[in-house]
Amino acid sequence: MIIDKLFEKVAQNGHVCVGLDTDYSYLPAAFAQQYPDIEEGLFQFNKAIIDATLDVAACYKVQIAYYESYGLPGLRAYQRTLALLRELKAVTIADIKRGDIAKTAEMYAKAHFTGDFEADFITLSPYMGLDSLTPYLPYVQDHEKGIFVLIRTSNEGAKDIEYLPTGNQRVYHVVGQKINEIGKEYLGACGFSSVGGVMGCTHPDEASEIRRMLSTTFFLIPGYGAQGGKAEDIAKYLHQGNGGVVNSSRGILLAYRKQPNGEAHFAECARNEAIRMRDDILNAL
C-alpha cells in the first residue's frame, strides 16, 4: 500500500509536505530573467526547490490550479514536475479536489492516476456523496494509489457547511467517520489507510477527539503557520509521532523573501524553512 511508503517517509524525513503551488510571480527576478518561458521557469524553479528539500520532506503536494492558469505551458510544467518527483521516488499528492460522480469521476481517476499527470495520491471532495469516491478505489486496491478526502478544512468558510449540526454531531464528524470506515478496506502494514483525510489544524481543541474517532485515517494537514496552526497543535493530530503530513506552500517557496539577499539563494532558503518547520513539529512531539 502506498500509505506504507508515506508512513516510512515521515519516519525518515519528518512531517513536512512541500506544497509546489507555484505561481510564476514567485520566481526571483534574476531567475525569471534566466527563464522567461512560463513552462521552463515554473519547472526549473520547482526542480531547484525539490533538489534542495528532497531529504527533509515527507512528500510533495502539487496544486494543479496554479499550472492550469497558464494553459498548456503551465500543464507541461505540472507534468514535468510530477515526472521528476516519480524519477526521484518521492511521494506525490496531486491537489485536484475533484468531486464528481460516475463516468466523469472514472475519467478523473484515469487522468490523475495514470498517464502524463500520474500521482501517488489525489485530493477529493466527498460532498456530492460517497459514490463520488467509488471510481477511485480500484486504483487504491490494485495500483498502489491513495486519496485524501476533504473532512474538515482550515479555511474560515469551513463553518458554513462542515460545522453544521446533524444530530449530536457536526457534518465533518459524519464525513470523517464514513471515510474512516471506507478506509478500513485499504489498511497498510503501518496501521493507517491509503484512504486518508484532509484535516485542518486550526481547531486544536477538537484534535484529540478527532484522532481517537478516526484512528486509522492518515491526515493531510493544512493550516500550519500563516493560518494560525502551531506545532503543538499538529502533535495532537498524530499517533505516536506519525499518521499525518503537514503542508506548507508559500511559507517554503517564498522563504527567500524574508532573508537579506535571499533571491540569490532561494532554494537554500526553502530548505532552511523546511528544516525549521520539520524540527518545530518534531520538538513538539
Cα–Cα distance, 271 to 279 (Å, whole number): 12
3-state secondary structure the chain: CHHHHHHHHHHHHCCEEEECCCCHHHCCHHHHHHCCCHHHHHHHHHHHHHHHHHHHCCEEEEEHHHHHCCHHHHHHHHHHHHHHHHHCCCCEEEEEEECCCHHHHHHHHHHHHCHHHCCCEEEECCCCCHHHCHHHHHHHHHCCCEEEEEEECCCCCHHHHCCCEECCEEHHHHHHHHHHHHHHHHECCCCCECEEEEECCCCHHHHHHHHHHCCCCCEEECCECCCCECHHHHHHCCECCECEEEEECHHHHCHHHHCCCHHHHHHHHHHHHHHHHHHHHHHHC
C-alpha cell at 51: 533538489
Catalytic entry in 61, 89, 97, 103: 97
Q: If you search the block for the grid coordinates 534542495, which residue do you land on?
A: 52
Cα–Cα distances in angstroms (integers) from residue 274 to residues 58, 66, 251, 285, in the given order: 10, 21, 9, 17
Known catalytic membership, residue 97: yes
- Whole-number Å distance between alpha carbons of 244 and 143: 22
Catalytically annotated residues: 97
